Structure 1
Amino acid sequence: MMTDHKPDPALLARAETLVEALPYMQRYAGSTFVVKYGGHAMGDADAAEDFAEDVVLLKAVGINPIVVHGGGPQIGAALKAQGIESRFIDGLRVTDAATMKVAEMVLSGAINKEIVSWIQAEGGRAVGISGKDGRLVTATKIQGPHDLGLVGEPDDIDTRLLDTISRAGMIPVVAPIGGGADGQTYPINAANFAGALPLATGAERLFLLTDVAGVLDKEKRLLTDLTPPQIAGLKADGTIYGGMIPKLQTCIDAVEGGVDAAVILDGRVPHAMLVEIFTKAGAGTLVRAA
């Protein structure tokens, strides 16, 4: 006897989403994506699980993700617990020898291995490293009008370790710590660290996952597509300011260096990265060269 069968609406919607995503998956197969996972975006357990699922799926469909994580809030908490005061200039932490040791411990230790565990809990295989490993990133001390202490910026990148990990079917998770030619260890701003990798690796996309929706206009509406000249105009009229300026500068440097696109996304939104990559609507602010 035949009976009427009505498909589950949720399963039907999911199937339709997968069908819509298929051309995008095929387009990016074999590509490298650099994903900066911000310290502020790590605070929610459900969001962390979604992020890990997304990264594992990217690898499963033939994309090679490279995860670079921050950890500013976690470093601040660890410093406070040890009675070390944090001081900032232009958004960067002034770093002496004691602060540097705590930063390396938190970034290369607790946070890095926690993200590796999240990815592996979702069925992926991840390797946690820092920029010091395999001389991935050689850093130099930041020079400027203010002395930030032992804060570095990427000077030279050797991608052989990343290439080896990716070719082995694993996902590199990188702490933003670099070693100087002088033997000194330098913490590096995670966005600056991540922004230097696409040009060296030939990555097609750079994602900055943070705790904001993206770039908003003066009416608080999301601006989904921007070019460097448009960004300059928004900066001039005060629409963008504060911490969004260095994020967008990282995006500009990437796309002007040859990266296809850079995206600022809210890492707290479930599966925001997949929505951005695999749907027409997207989920954040996408920056392309003019």
Structure 2
Amino acid sequence: MKTTGPQPLEQHLQQTAKVLSEALPYMRRFAGQTMVIKYGGHAMGDEALAHQFARDVVLIKQVGINPIVVHGGGPQIGAMLERLKIKSEFIDGLRVTDQATVEIVEMVLAGSINKQIVTAINGAGGTGIGLSGKDGRLIEARKLRRSVRDPGSNIEKLLDLGFVGEPTRINPDILRTMQTSNLIPVVAPIGIGENGETYNINADTSAGAIAAAMGATKLLMLTDVAGVLNKDKKLIPNLTAKEALVLMGDGTISGGMIPKVETCLDAVRGGVNAVHILDGRIPHVLLLELFTAHGVGTMIERTP
């Protein structure tokens, strides 16, 4: 009598059981811990990936982890400014933000984008709550000051970026209150100044500051790249803070990856155990990182 191996349905069920079994130790390990997720890039613009992201965040909450989502929205802001015929320029990757621009930034980030993410989380069975950094003075900020050196005269010049800010203090009480409930906070990176000014803050920077203030176990940063690459353009899975500094010094880490890694280093200096730079274009990338043995992307850990 001829015997046959497992049929496709049985193979699928066995694989599902294997995945769940592998995930269980990580679910137990991370239960009750806080994880900050910086959400941006292609993952936000792709409808299927956005739907998967919302489901994954709800699953993370359901297994007892406390996720905090901090989102960006640069392309959406740019599209709205263009639609309203408001000119905008960038200096060193930062949008110069005058009074008219900061009003649009706040409208897009704390309005349409924030509510889209909240709606997606709610639609996936969670309870998302939208916040901006102005709510409860969550993100207190000051004007970001940057300088450039003129290559000809070697004179350093102070740049005026308008209402671009940097966090000075995170007030996490409102987030801690949410942790005792089933709420999932979704934070727009808008800060409030000493005199009530509104500041546009880089989402990576905001996520790192919130992760440190909350004593998060992990900061998970979704990007449009695989992670940190070596000189041969191959992924580096693990780095210590010291190793990351060396790679920035020798030029291996360059361009737009530099500010991301600097945010990672600030976070681990602030007490976050590990920061993960992940490719948000990969379906279910959060689950792959948290609940599988090998994970994905690049992990930067505190230097012992």
* Corresponding residue to 2:31 among 14, 29, 32: 29
Aligned position for 2:277: 264
Residues of 1 paired with 2:165 and 2:133: CA distance? Answer: 11
Aligned position for 1:226: 239
Asked if 1:283 corresponds to 2:291, the answer is no
* Corresponding residue to 1:156 among 160, 169, 178: 169
Letter in 2 for 1:144: R
Asked if 1:178 corresponds to 2:178, the answer is no
Larger Rg: 2
Asked if 1:139 corresponds to 2:180, the answer is no
Cα deviation for residue 218 of structure 1 reads: 2.1
Aligned position for 2:154: none
Aligned position for 1:41: 43
* Corresponding residue to 2:262 among 249, 257, 265: 249
Asked if 1:115 corresponds to 2:117, the answer is yes
Letter in 1 for 2:291: F
SS at match of 1:8: helix
* Corresponding residue to 1:206 among 210, 219, 224: 219
SS at match of 1:95: coil
* Corresponding residue to 1:129 among 128, 131, 136: 131
* Corresponding residue to 1:168 among 181, 186, 189: 181
Residues of 1 paired with 2:249 and 2:66: CA distance? Answer: 37
Cα deviation for residue 54 of structure 1 reads: 1.0
**Contact 2:212 2:268 (C-alpha < 8 Å) held by counterparts:** no
**Contact 1:69 1:190 (C-alpha < 8 Å) held by counterparts:** yes
Cα deviation for residue 135 of structure 1 reads: 1.0
**Contact 1:40 1:73 (C-alpha < 8 Å) held by counterparts:** no
Cα deviation for residue 238 of structure 1 reads: 2.0
Aligned position for 2:208: 195
Alignment gaps of 5+ in structure 2? 148-158
Cα deviation for residue 179 of structure 1 reads: 0.9
**Contact 1:70 1:107 (C-alpha < 8 Å) held by counterparts:** yes
The 5-angstrom pairing of residues 68-79 of structure 1 reads 68-79=70-81
* Corresponding residue to 1:50 among 38, 49, 52: 52
Aligned position for 1:62: 64
Residues of 2 paired with 1:181 and 1:213: CA distance? Answer: 39
Aligned position for 2:252: 239
Q: Which moved more, 1:232-241 or 1:141-150?
A: 232-241
Residues of 2 paired with 1:57 and 1:40: CA distance? Answer: 21
SS at match of 2:146: coil
Asked if 1:17 corresponds to 2:19, the answer is yes
Aligned position for 1:84: 86
Residues of 2 paired with 1:274 and 1:193: CA distance? Answer: 23
Residues of 2 paired with 1:17 and 1:41: CA distance? Answer: 23
Residues of 1 paired with 2:42 and 2:101: CA distance? Answer: 20
**Contact 1:64 1:166 (C-alpha < 8 Å) held by counterparts:** yes
Cα deviation for residue 272 of structure 1 reads: 0.7
SS at match of 1:182: coil
TM-score (norm 1): 0.96
Alignment gaps of 5+ in structure 1? none
Q: Which runs of 4+ in 1 moved over 3 A?
A: 4-7
Residues of 1 paired with 2:231 and 2:43: CA distance? Answer: 24
Letter in 1 for 2:200: P
TM-score (norm 2): 0.91
Cα deviation for residue 50 of structure 1 reads: 1.3
Cα deviation for residue 150 of structure 1 reads: 0.5
Cα deviation for residue 200 of structure 1 reads: 1.1
Residues of 2 paired with 1:231 and 1:258: CA distance? Answer: 17
**Contact 2:96 2:161 (C-alpha < 8 Å) held by counterparts:** yes
**Contact 2:42 2:281 (C-alpha < 8 Å) held by counterparts:** no
SS at match of 1:129: strand
Aligned position for 2:153: none
Residues of 1 paired with 2:42 and 2:113: CA distance? Answer: 12
Cα deviation for residue 46 of structure 1 reads: 1.0
Residues of 2 paired with 1:151 and 1:18: CA distance? Answer: 44
Percent sequence identity over matched residues?
57
